[in-house]
Amino acid sequence: MMLDFFSTLIQLQLRDVIDILVIAFIIYHGLLLIKGTRGWQMTLGIISLSLFYGVIRFLELRTIEWLFANFFTYFIFALIVIFQSEIRRGLAQIGRGRFFPRFFPSLAGKKGQNRFEEIVLAATTLSNKKIGGLIVIERDIGLRNYIESGIKLDAFLTYDLLLTIFNPKSPLHDGAVIIQGNRISAASCFLPLTLDPYLSKELGTRHRAAIGITEESDAVAVVISEENGNTSAVLGGEIMRGLDGPRLLKILQKTVDPGSRNVEAGPGRHKKTEPQQEAI
């Protein structure tokens, strides 16, 4: 058997290697596409059924094997129905150049830059008007569970939409906005509060929720206080306060962009300060 394996490897040609790499690339990005969604759990279920079918064939259970064989005849149509949202999103990402970011860096980079500018512009406007807001930006770890706790929007990210959502008269202003890529996935989302007993008491519920979600995921949160208009960024449970527009933009570029993940601690980074209750 080993001799057959090595003889097959020797006979491999360049086009065979390319064929294997393309298939691996498609499978890898397909898994990334469903990561953090319900489709991931469905994929695990499909894998379990496939393993079960292999056991059935090994044990030669003819009746169950016949049922499975007839079921798999229509399985391809079931897959299209089950994964229709993921298929639509994948095709949309291909059209936007996000499915091949290394081959279309200018497309991905330009759209990422526009996304940051929309968020920073909205944050500075809310800060000037002393309107509270909480924006959570998804990175590698999916936030689907928290998206489902809010009102799903799946709308293109714009400055005007963010201001409309956080308008105090809007029914969606309470809770967090969650952003995936260049889209606002949901608004009015409930987030877990941090349980850190040493956290400054001047931080209200909105800030505690921002710290809580960044402790449980690698997301980046932007918080605007309605008490004093203070703008903060939260990453990994650490809050950086007193940010202006350029500083916030720099933080988002360094943390959310794949090219740079680290942020140097600036003078606005805080964890514990003197107690002063903040209304949010």
Task: Give the CATH number, domain containing residue 213.
Answer: 3.40.1700.10
Q: What is the pLDDT of residue 12?
A: 72
In this prediction the pTM is 0.57
Same domain? 160 vs 238:
yes
Neighbours of 151 (CB within 10 A): 13
- Whether the per-residue pLDDT at 280 is higher than 90: the answer is no
The answer as to whether 277 is a domain residue is no
Same domain? 87 vs 132:
no
Same domain? 125 vs 235:
yes
Q: Domain ends where: 96, 128, 149? A: 96
Q: Which residue has the tokens 């996304």?
A: 115
Tell me the C-alpha distance between 36 and 180, whole Å.
Answer: 11
Residue 115's contacts (CB-CB under 8 Å, 6 or more residues apart) are 157, 179, 181, 182
Instruction: Provide the β-strand partners of residue 280.
Output: none
Same domain? 18 vs 54:
yes
The answer as to whether 280 is a domain residue is no
The answer as to whether 278 is a domain residue is no
As for how many domains the chain has, the answer is: 2
Tell me the C-alpha distance between 26 and 28, whole Å.
Answer: 6
The answer as to whether 8 is a domain residue is no
Least reliable range by pLDDT among 49-53, 182-186, 247-251, 271-275: 271-275
Q: Domain ends where: 73, 96, 119? A: 96
Same domain? 110 vs 92:
no
Mean pLDDT value of segment 82-90: 68
Same domain? 47 vs 111:
no
Q: What is the pLDDT of residue 103?
A: 46
Nearest to residue 231, comparing CAs of 207, 211, 205?
207
The percentage of the chain sitting over the pLDDT mark of 90, rounded to a whole number, equals 28
Best mean pLDDT range from 37-41, 200-204, 255-259: 200-204
55 pLDDT tier (thresholds 50, 70, 90): confident
Same domain? 265 vs 186:
yes
The range of the structural domain enclosing residue 240 comes to: 105-270
Mean pLDDT value of segment 204-221: 90
Same domain? 75 vs 141:
no
The answer as to whether 185 is a domain residue is yes
Same domain? 147 vs 74:
no
98 pLDDT tier (thresholds 50, 70, 90): low
The answer as to whether 111 is a domain residue is yes
Residue type for 229, please?
G
Each residue's pLDDT tens digit, 138-183: 988 888 889 988 999 989 999 999 999 999 998 888 889 999 988 9
The answer as to whether 67 is a domain residue is yes
Please indicate whether residue 72 or residue 207 has the higher confidence score (pLDDT). 207
Q: Outline where the chain has alpha helix (H).
A: 2-10, 14-34, 38-59, 62-73, 75-82, 84-96, 105-129, 144-147, 159-165, 205-216, 245-256
Same domain? 229 vs 114:
yes
